[in-house]
Amino acid sequence: MSDELLAPDMALTLDAPQNIATVSEWLLGTSAVLAHHQGNDETAQLIADVTSMDVRLWDTEWGREGYKIVLIVEPQLYPIYNESELTRIQEVMSTVLEASGKEIDVMNVRPEIPRLAPGWRDQIKTANGPKPSNQGRRPRLAPRHPIEDQMHFTNEWERDVYRVLKKRQAALPDNETIGIMPLGGIRVRLRTFEPDLLITYRGFVGVIEIDGPQHKGHAGIDHSRTRQLLHAGVKVVDRLNVQEVGTLAEVEKFVDDFLTQLGRR
């Protein structure tokens, strides 16, 4: 089975019913990878951070297809997408669509509207309490996300790896243990990341990223992100693909190999 994303039928309009299910992810992914290959990793990362987009036929005069595209991004990322950044994104997407005779007339951005949970008041009070925190900014307001040791996790996979790391932490002597930071905000050049797990050990810093099924097709963006973390002083960046891990023993082996590599002088 091919790993290539399904593409929309370019003989139809992009917002035709047959294309609605594929056009957003295909255009975002193709544009991000193109920007990466062109050496424009900052624009590629901005495109990769877009959650989804609305595509609507906007102008059909003179036999042309002009579209209005609205990028939908997480609320905390919304201020980043200023007019200059939108222009860069539009240029890349226009290049992708040019061969099919389709054009982008208008490009806007709007914040993703959070899902409302019954306990939203408590979530807001916790997120904006007297002790500011940059931990788990993205999942903190999402309903039913895992929480352990007063820390937030995006999903169960992240929490499972965290639990294995905690076991290793408890087994080490007090004067040579590890530190574990899930989803801590880290600022690198021109970008703010939230590594899934940041680990300190023997004077070194490492990062574990956990890739779920939704991560498929992001290899180019992952490479750019890894390079920026390494340039910022992170010694080891390793990725755990949950689709290739079937047992707890395999997760434990991954963690042990990671700690060995991180602690090696």
- Name all domains of the chain by residue range, CATH numbers in brackets: 20-111 (3.30.300.20), 135-263 (3.40.1350)
Question: For position 68, what pLDDT does the model report?
Answer: 96
Question: For position 262, what pLDDT does the model report?
Answer: 94
Q: How far is CA 7 from each of CA 3, 97, 105, 153, 232, rounded to the nearest angstrom?
A: 12, 12, 21, 32, 36
Question: For position 124, what pLDDT does the model report?
Answer: 66
**pTM higher than the cut 0.85:** no
238, β-bridge pairs = 208
Whether the Cβ atoms of residue 234 and residue 206 lie closer than 8 Å to each other = yes
What pLDDT digit, counting tens, does each position of 150-186 carry?
A: 888 988 999 999 999 999 999 999 888 999 999 988 8
Question: For position 167, what pLDDT does the model report?
Answer: 94
Spell out, as residue ranges, where the chain has pLDDT lower than 50: 1-2, 130, 132
Tokens 């919304």 sit on residue: 78
Question: For position 186, what pLDDT does the model report?
Answer: 87
Question: For position 130, what pLDDT does the model report?
Answer: 46
What pLDDT digit, counting tens, does each position of 203-232 carry?
A: 999 999 998 766 555 555 667 788 889 999
Question: For position 164, what pLDDT does the model report?
Answer: 95
Dihedral-angle region of residue 167 (phi above 0 means left; psi in -120 to 50 means alpha; beta otherwise): alpha
Q: What is the dihedral of CA 85, 90, 95, 100, to 10 degrees?
A: 160
Question: For position 218, what pLDDT does the model report?
Answer: 56
